[in-house]
Structure 1
Amino acid sequence: MGSTDTSRPGRGRPLAGAGSSPTGLLDLLSVAAVVLDTSGRVVFWSPQAVELFGYTAEEALGQFAAQLLIHEEHRDEVIALFAEVMESGTDWAGAFPVRHKNGTTRLVEFRNMRLLDDLGGTYALGLAVDQAILAQVERSVALSARLVTQSPIGLAILDTDLRYLNVNPALERIHGISAADHRGRRVRDVLTFLDGEAVERRLRRVLETGKPVADRYVVCRPASDPHRDHAWSVSYHRLEDAAGRVLGVATSVIDITERHEATIAATQARNRLAMIASASASIGTTLDVQQTAHELAGVVVPDLADVASVHVLESVLRGRTPSLAGAARFRVAAVTAARASEAADVTDAPGELARYESDRLLTHCVRTRQPVLVAETSGEDLRHIARTGEAASLLARAGVHSYLAVPLVARGEVLGALSLVRTGTPASFDEDDTLLACELAARAATCIDNARWYQSVRNTALTLQRRLLPQLPSHLPGLTIACRYLPAGAISEIGGDWFDAVRLPGDKTALVVGDVMGSGINAAASMGQLRSATRAFAGLDLDPAEVLRHLDRLTEDVEHTIATCAYCCYDPERGECRISLAGHLPPALLRSGRPAELLDLPSGVPLGVGGTAFETTVFPFRPGDQLALYTDGLVETRSDPIDTRLGTLLEALTATAAQDLPETCDRVLETLRPPGGDDDVALLVARAEP
């Protein structure tokens, strides 16, 4: 293609005071003008003719054009055409080879016409263009037109007022608006589904600064598809002519919706994997049904649902096989909402016992053990989702537009359902959401089932342990006692500790605290055996060391059983206690008006070890004195030294010397025993009375 030479005076520059600037197209074509008189002599020779034919004006003026430019074999034909134009005044256009000054031949396209001046003179004007340049321009125009019309990229030309001049078919498809509806209209009037004012501000900056905007990411819902998000990559650049005059703005739009959706799908897949990983780490941290339900609801909100509730069948919590015929009774184990107000509007209250009739979707979910998905809820759907008509109205007012319920199934048994709704999230639940919810529900169901069985076994162990603990006598001569038992926080730690007070002949009383090593139901059963045996031996009014010796022999016969024990016999007539220890911690003695202290006693060996004699120690126990017997769960921890804990025990006993014994027990436990401790605790405090 030709280039514009702006170095020549007047070329490429607008005339001063002219109404508009030149386009530069003539410069691009480099049109040469030649004027001949009636004899065929050159009387005008333009600068472009110098470039096209090679002859200067001095060399060409006055010469016969046919002799100067035309090869001899074509000369007669050209002279005849010239004569015809001059005689008839008919224009002629065509192409024929022309001889260049350097001897080469060029194919030049001519347009010839007759001219008349005001004196009656006749001339011939010839406009000539190198056909190679024309062919190149034609090819470029054809290529550009074909690229524009067939391009998958949407293209548009806007004038300086930001009105559409032209758009290609691709942009018609992308915008969903015909080319005719584009032309002459402002951007804001066409792109009504976007912020047209903001788009025009960006286009105006491009016009003013010349700085292009490239690959701007736009997500919208065009008029052609208002129910689906589309993604576009939009670019703007300023259009200028060869002289630098601003013509307008060109815009290009690439539809990247498929890439956008693939990116969203990949992001959602990563989020689902992250949610499953989070669920694995955060669901089932404790063996508690309600806590596990709260953890499940917390994982799905807000990433999967705006509101989540976990409904557990009441029969499952009671340890019975659920009946799935007719209505279903649920205990609402947990409710979590993205916004606090929504929880009260769209769900049952946490802890509430809720009855759902047989036609409700939640009941259908647990009966069929299949998920229930309502992507777009209607008024009729809400009536089948809600428990009551009033609740259905609340769902509608809260903006519930999508619903999903998945069953909680573990070990082949349905436990309840996870109920999910969307209110603020515009997207509806889909099949991918259903699969994710089912995966999370399956993991949580196993944890809920474990917690349910744990609670059942724990309750069994606690019941056994409490049944084995004694009913203390209502009156003991010269003695007031108070006792406490606290189970461990875990089922595996329940069952080994006990206390007892046995009335003996001669107004004496046996005080016993023991701890079977080990835990669980087996430890509780062993404890029951030892407590019964201790009562039997105590009834024989034996010396404390003798009682422990008999218990030691009995324990040796029980496989895998070892226990510690403190056995004390109080005689109010003598005002003294006789005590023997079997590997047990020393009791604390609080004398009237003095601080508490640990008794210095031979510790002995635990029951069941065998081969070692036990010793009995006698110490005075006068009215007002207090004696505290306890198990190691009260003072032993994993973090604190035992001496520090024993010192804390003595301080607590001293501080409560004037209080009633039940208050003393409570204060000691409050000071030393944290909630959910790792070991169970038995505590017995006795006070000598007049």
Structure 2
Amino acid sequence: MGETDVSRPGRGRPLAGAGSSPTSLLDLLSVAAVVLDTNGRVVFWSPQAEELFGYTADEALGRFAARLLVHEEHWDEVITLFAEVMESGTDWAGAFPIRHKDGSTRLVEFRNMRLLDDLGDTYALGLAVDQATVARVERDVALSARLVTQSPIGLAILDTDLRYLTVNPALERMHGLSATEQVGRRVRDVLTFLDAEAVENCLRRVLETGEPVTDQHVAGRPAADPHREHAWSASYHRLEDASGRVLGVVTSVVDITERHEAALAANRARNRLALIANASASIGTTLDVEQTAHELARVVVPDLADMVSVHVLDSVLRGRAPSLTGPARFRTVATAGVHASEPAPTAEPPGRIAVYDSDRLLTRCVRTRRPVLVAETTRQDLRRIARTSEDASLLEATGVHSYLAVPLLARGEVLGALSLARVGTAAPFDEDDTLLACELAGRAATCIDNARWYQSARDTALTLQRRLLPQLPSRLPGLTIACRYLPAGAVSEIGGDWFDAMHLQGDRTALVVGDVMGSGINAAASMGQLRSATRAFAGLDLEPAEVLRQLDRLTEDVEHTIATCAYCRYDPGQGQCRISLAGHLPPALVRAGRPARLLDLPSGVPLGVGGTAFETTAFDFRPGDQLALYTDGLVETRCDPIDARLGTLLEALTATAGQDLAQTCDSVLERLRPSGGDDDVALLVARAEG
């Protein structure tokens, strides 16, 4: 066997083949060992005894222990105790005052016992510890135990295999598991409500590197409270003994759920304000019902819902008051989803009219004009959400777990409903989501209401104007004509442009294009009056200048009416046109085989100005020649020079010369008239035939 040098304190080393490294507990207690023979003489004196009593081994060995360590008044008591231990073999333990070499008295904890060697000799072993050290250790242990058991911080010790060795009550509450359910199990088996793999990887790095990890935030739903997300701040430190041997990892966990929820609430509030701001800028960019509905759907997904559909009552789109009883007829005008493959919340494709029974949630929403919230849907709820059982099965297969419907209310009238569903988003809809959805739906409903009234007014103006425009004769002597009318993109711009072609006496034809300044229904009505008057004056076989003079006199009597007009009379027998302008743009003439050009004519003044004579100009118009009359909406824009636009018109007419006149009109409009232009356009193209 190997030996250990005990003559010098702190110089011991483990015996060869020892199974484990020494711990620091004995060093912490500094237990002194003293062996006495049957006479009470010291025969063994440990280095710790030297530290405790102050005497060296040379000074203590061979001397009577009582005389060396005890005050004289306690000799009899010590001798009696020594005799009892040696005779009966009964251990004795207790505190006893001893005399230190420096003369001071110290209270020392003793445990005395009898020893027998292989020769039958008897000895007394005394183990001694300074009572102050014992008290300190007991106090530290008690304090540590109290701190661990009563601390609100979750504490645990894990071994090097990441198995729980001990957990305190706070951590039991956090995990929702008792200590028995945790001790001996791996982290991955206990933290099933977290990303346990990431936690284990972090713990392994701490074990390997010794670098602590502090304030690492994790969140999950523990078994003790699965309906609420909790958050924790975790710190990991490597545990080592005095010799540096790695024992495991200490984890400390602080519950920061309230702080986490407050941060989420603040972030949620910021996101909702941003969503409302985005909605204000994105919804209602046009006066179009479907476009507004699509804008609402794009704003809602994915920030508020995973799937959304916008339903408008069919009666509202038809301009009727919505019915508040019986089934409801909806038209789905827009849908959106996080994934294109996902159906709408009601599984209805856009554009289709669907009838929902009175027991459906969508119907209840518009009937009561109140939101309908189903935080966690059941199969029965899905049947009440969808229109048919097949649609309900589709929603169930998609994974819809939360549903919300809010009414589209504008100016006290219900227009329809907004349906929202959550699939991938784990959290269900709540009251805050309902308030936000109502805010967005209200903004969109106002825009939809504006759009439908705009559309109604625009349809009225268009209907009036188209009714006022003429039905051209199917045949005109020696002349082929084609014409087009395009309304402006905005309802306020509809109104003043018109064209006409009239068969006159002597196989002659009158061609007219005019434009009443202003817009809207009033301009359309004034245009109808001027067109009727023009037809009446044309029937009198008057010269073009005289026709314009009569129209000018008539227009003067109509308040706030100014109009431009080009009046042309074609005589096929003479092969000649006679034309007069009232403040109108010059027509374009295309000679057979030649490029188009603008006629050089006196422009005159607009009708309604009064006090100015009009001039008539004649020009030849032979078979194959083409004449184009148009209004300013064709060539005038806000950004392009008028000369450049007129040049483009001439290029288009030249390129289409000899083609079918209807194709010519379409080509000219395609090249010069953008979709949704600011002004309406009237275009009339005539070709002389043999």
- Contact map agreement 1:346 1:394 (CA 8 A) in 2: no
Mapping for residues 160-175 of structure 1, pairs under 5 Å: 160-175=160-175
- Contact map agreement 1:276 1:440 (CA 8 A) in 2: yes
Q: Residue 621 of structure 2 aligns to which amino acid in structure 1? A: F
- Contact map agreement 1:12 1:27 (CA 8 A) in 2: no
Q: Could you list the runs of 5+ residues in structure 2 that have no partner in the other structure?
A: 1-5
Q: In 2 relative to 1, CA 586–419 (structure 1 residues): closer, same or farther, beyond 3 Å? A: same
**How far off is 1:65 after superposition?**
4.1
Q: Deviations over 1:1-35 (max 9, x none)?
A: xxxxx996764642221122221111111122233
Residues 1:234 and 2:213 aligned together: no
Q: Out of 59-68 and 151-160, give the one that drifted further.
A: 59-68
Q: Could you tell me how far apart the structure 2 residues matched to 1:362 and 1:119 are?
A: 101
Q: Could you tell me how far apart the structure 1 residues matched to 2:74 and 2:515 are?
A: 130
Residues 1:579 and 2:575 aligned together: no
Q: Which residue of 1 aligns with 2:271?
A: 271
Q: In 2 relative to 1, CA 15–560 (structure 1 residues): closer, same or farther, beyond 3 Å? A: farther
Q: Could you tell me how far apart the structure 2 residues matched to 1:116 and 1:59 are?
A: 25
Q: Which residue of 2 aligns with 1:244?
A: 244
Q: Which residue of 2 aligns with 1:498?
A: 498
Mapping for residues 586-625 of structure 1, pairs under 5 Å: 586-625=586-625
Q: Residue 373 of structure 1 aligns to which amino acid in structure 2? A: L
Q: Which residue of 2 aligns with 1:300?
A: 300
Q: Out of 339-348 and 418-427, give the one that drifted further.
A: 339-348
**How far off is 1:290 after superposition?**
1.1
Q: Out of 109-118 and 487-496, give the one that drifted further.
A: 109-118
Q: Could you tell me how far apart the structure 2 residues matched to 1:256 and 1:345 are?
A: 36
Q: Could you tell me how far apart the structure 2 residues matched to 1:286 and 1:551 are?
A: 39
Q: Secondary structure at the match of 1:145?
A: helix
Q: Deviations over 1:285-343 (max 9, x none)?
A: 11111111111122222232222111111111111111121111111211222222222
**How far off is 1:201 after superposition?**
5.0
Q: Deviations over 1:385-417 (max 9, x none)?
A: 222233233333333332221111111111111
Q: Which residue of 1 aligns with 2:356?
A: 356
Q: Out of 496-505 and 70-79, give the one that drifted further.
A: 70-79
Mapping for residues 419-438 of structure 1, pairs under 5 Å: 419-438=419-438
Q: Residue 562 of structure 1 aligns to which amino acid in structure 2? A: I
Q: Which residue of 2 aligns with 1:18?
A: 18
**How far off is 1:283 after superposition?**
1.1
Superposition CA RMSD, Å: 2.7
Q: Could you list the runs of 5+ residues in structure 1 that have no partner in the other structure?
A: 1-5
Q: Could you tell me how far apart the structure 2 residues matched to 1:76 and 1:344 are?
A: 100
Q: Could you tell me how far apart the structure 1 residues matched to 2:154 and 2:421 are?
A: 40
- Contact map agreement 1:309 1:335 (CA 8 A) in 2: yes
Q: Residue 537 of structure 1 aligns to which amino acid in structure 2? A: F
Q: In 2 relative to 1, CA 189–663 (structure 1 residues): closer, same or farther, beyond 3 Å? A: closer
**How far off is 1:362 after superposition?**
1.4
**How far off is 1:663 after superposition?**
1.9
Q: Residue 246 of structure 1 aligns to which amino acid in structure 2? A: V
Q: Which residue of 2 aligns with 1:92?
A: 92
**How far off is 1:650 after superposition?**
0.7
Residues 1:367 and 2:367 aligned together: yes
Q: Which residue of 2 aligns with 1:660?
A: 660
Q: In 2 relative to 1, CA 534–231 (structure 1 residues): closer, same or farther, beyond 3 Å? A: same
Q: Which residue of 2 aligns with 1:145?
A: 145
**How far off is 1:363 after superposition?**
1.4
Q: Could you tell me how far apart the structure 2 residues matched to 1:640 and 1:455 are?
A: 29
- Contact map agreement 2:309 2:345 (CA 8 A) in 1: no
**How far off is 1:483 after superposition?**
1.4
Q: Out of 394-403 and 73-82, give the one that drifted further.
A: 73-82
Q: Could you tell me how far apart the structure 2 residues matched to 1:46 and 1:235 are?
A: 43
Residues 1:316 and 2:297 aligned together: no
**How far off is 1:40 after superposition?**
4.6
Q: Residue 467 of structure 2 aligns to which amino acid in structure 1? A: R
**How far off is 1:63 after superposition?**
4.5
Residues 1:475 and 2:465 aligned together: no
Q: Which residue of 2 aligns with 1:3?
A: none
Q: Deviations over 1:467-489 (max 9, x none)?
A: 22123233333322221110011
Q: In 2 relative to 1, CA 585–196 (structure 1 residues): closer, same or farther, beyond 3 Å? A: closer
Q: Could you tell me how far apart the structure 2 residues matched to 1:410 and 1:78 are?
A: 103
Q: Deviations over 1:132-161 (max 9, x none)?
A: 222211111011111111122222223334
Q: Which residue of 1 aligns with 2:158?
A: 158
Aligned-residue sequence identity (percent) comes to 83
Mapping for residues 124-203 of structure 1, pairs under 5 Å: 124-193=124-193, 199-200=199-200, 202-203=202-203
**How far off is 1:678 after superposition?**
1.2
Mapping for residues 41-56 of structure 1, pairs under 5 Å: 41-56=41-56
Q: In 2 relative to 1, CA 401–196 (structure 1 residues): closer, same or farther, beyond 3 Å? A: closer
Q: Residue 239 of structure 2 aligns to which amino acid in structure 1? A: L
Q: Residue 357 of structure 2 aligns to which amino acid in structure 1? A: E
**How far off is 1:383 after superposition?**
2.4
**How far off is 1:628 after superposition?**
0.7
Q: Out of 159-168 and 483-492, give the one that drifted further.
A: 159-168
Q: Out of 191-200 and 128-137, give the one that drifted further.
A: 191-200
Q: Out of 577-586 and 483-492, give the one that drifted further.
A: 577-586
Q: In 2 relative to 1, CA 25–641 (structure 1 residues): closer, same or farther, beyond 3 Å? A: same
- Contact map agreement 1:382 1:396 (CA 8 A) in 2: yes
Q: Residue 257 of structure 1 aligns to which amino acid in structure 2? A: T
Q: Which residue of 2 aligns with 1:568?
A: 568
- Contact map agreement 2:632 2:681 (CA 8 A) in 1: yes
Q: In 2 relative to 1, CA 49–687 (structure 1 residues): closer, same or farther, beyond 3 Å? A: same
Q: In 2 relative to 1, CA 345–415 (structure 1 residues): closer, same or farther, beyond 3 Å? A: closer
**How far off is 1:87 after superposition?**
5.2
- Contact map agreement 1:365 1:417 (CA 8 A) in 2: yes
**How far off is 1:216 after superposition?**
3.6
Q: Which residue of 2 aligns with 1:455?
A: 455
Q: Out of 48-57 and 118-127, give the one that drifted further.
A: 118-127
- Contact map agreement 2:309 2:344 (CA 8 A) in 1: no
Q: Could you tell me how far apart the structure 2 residues matched to 1:495 and 1:171 are?
A: 78
Q: Which residue of 2 aligns with 1:672?
A: 672
- Contact map agreement 1:335 1:347 (CA 8 A) in 2: no
Q: Out of 515-524 and 383-392, give the one that drifted further.
A: 383-392
Q: Deviations over 1:446-505 (max 9, x none)?
A: 111101000000001111111221232333333222211100111111111111223344
Q: Secondary structure at the match of 2:685?
A: strand
**How far off is 1:193 after superposition?**
4.7
Q: Residue 496 of structure 2 aligns to which amino acid in structure 1? A: G
Q: Could you tell me how far apart the structure 2 residues matched to 1:270 and 1:345 are?
A: 27
The TM-score, its normalising length taken from structure 1, stands at 0.92
Q: Which residue of 2 aligns with 1:334?
A: 334
Residues 1:549 and 2:549 aligned together: yes
Count of equivalent residues: 685
Q: Which residue of 2 aligns with 1:683?
A: 683
- Contact map agreement 2:9 2:47 (CA 8 A) in 1: no
- Contact map agreement 1:630 1:683 (CA 8 A) in 2: yes
Q: Out of 516-525 and 573-582, give the one that drifted further.
A: 573-582
Q: Could you tell me how far apart the structure 1 residues matched to 2:8 and 2:515 are?
A: 114
**How far off is 1:368 after superposition?**
1.0
**How far off is 1:70 after superposition?**
3.9
Mapping for residues 201-220 of structure 1, pairs under 5 Å: 202-220=202-220
Q: Secondary structure at the match of 1:340?
A: coil
Q: Could you tell me how far apart the structure 1 residues matched to 2:104 and 2:300 are?
A: 83
- Contact map agreement 1:153 1:254 (CA 8 A) in 2: yes
- Contact map agreement 1:12 1:24 (CA 8 A) in 2: no
Q: Could you tell me how far apart the structure 1 residues matched to 2:12 and 2:648 are?
A: 102
Q: Secondary structure at the match of 1:645?
A: helix
**How far off is 1:682 after superposition?**
0.6
**How far off is 1:631 after superposition?**
0.7
Q: Secondary structure at the match of 2:184?
A: coil
Q: Could you tell me how far apart the structure 2 residues matched to 1:560 and 1:285 are?
A: 32
**How far off is 1:123 after superposition?**
4.3
Q: Secondary structure at the match of 1:341?
A: coil
